Structure 1
């Protein structure tokens, strides 16, 4: 089972003058909601996490949803033996998460882990479901904090593009 979570940074708060109702996609993705994120395999009790406090959390959720879709482009789906790759670059550092799909399984590794560390391995269907749930839960949390964010058309479009599975 895959668990995805976050914590918002107290060191890097959002600017107080931010108008969440009209913020554009770039601002929402890269300038707001900084914190730390993690991906955890609850079966093996292993985790990939950041500890910088500078990860744009909404961008992370958005990018994970994009990656889950990109890894599903092969028409053979779970029967595809051809490797499908994707990478999530953290814009605030030189680190990346690497995703490798073969058949129905996705291996997730991180640049900052030792090379002998085994990857997190998750079923692609589980990955797709969990990243979309994470996105919707995150947006709900952020709207609870910033009421005007719920009126932002970029957020509406994002939630429509990646509905819960």
Structure 2
């Protein structure tokens, strides 16, 4: 079972004058909602997490949804034997999450972990569903904190692009 989570940072708060209703995509993805994120395999009790405090959490959720779609472009889908690769880089660092999909399974590795640490492995369909659930749950949490964010057109577009899956 995959668990994706976050914690907002107290060290890097959003600027108090932020107009969340009018925040542009760059601000939403790079300047706001900093904290830490994790991906956990609850069955093996292993996780990949950041502990930097400055990761743009909404950008992480957005990029994760993009990556899940990117590694699903092979027409053979879950029958594809050729590996499909993607990476999620963290803007303020050289660290990356590496994704490799083969036969419907996705391995996720973190460059900052020791090379002896095995990757987390999930089915692509579970990763897609959980990434989208995480995105929608995160947006709900952030709009609870900042009600005007619910009126931001970029958030509407993001939610429409990556709807929840059954």
Same fold per superposition (TM over 0.5)? yes
Q: Distance in 2 between matches of 1:68 and 1:143?
A: 24
How many residues of Structure 1 are paired with residues of Structure 2 in the alignment? 165
Write out aligned runs for 1:55-134 (5 A). Answer: 55-134=55-134
Q: Distance in 2 between matches of 1:106 and 1:91?
A: 23
Could you list the runs of 5+ residues in structure 2 that have no partner in the other structure? none
Give 1:151's aligned residue: 151
What TM-score, normalized to structure 1?
A: 0.99
What TM-score, normalized to structure 2?
A: 0.99
Q: Offset at 1:92?
A: 1.6
Following superposition, which runs of at least 4 residues in structure 1 exceed 4 angstroms of deviation? none
Could you list the runs of 5+ residues in structure 1 that have no partner in the other structure? none
Pairing 1:7–2:7 present: yes
The CA RMSD over aligned residues, in Å, is: 0.4
- Structure 1 residues 68-115: Cα deviation after superposition (integer angstroms, max 9, x where no partner): 000110111100001100000001211100000001100000011111
Give 2:37's aligned residue: 37
Q: Distance in 2 between matches of 1:101 and 1:52?
A: 27
- Structure 1 residues 22-56: Cα deviation after superposition (integer angstroms, max 9, x where no partner): 00000000000000000000110000000010000
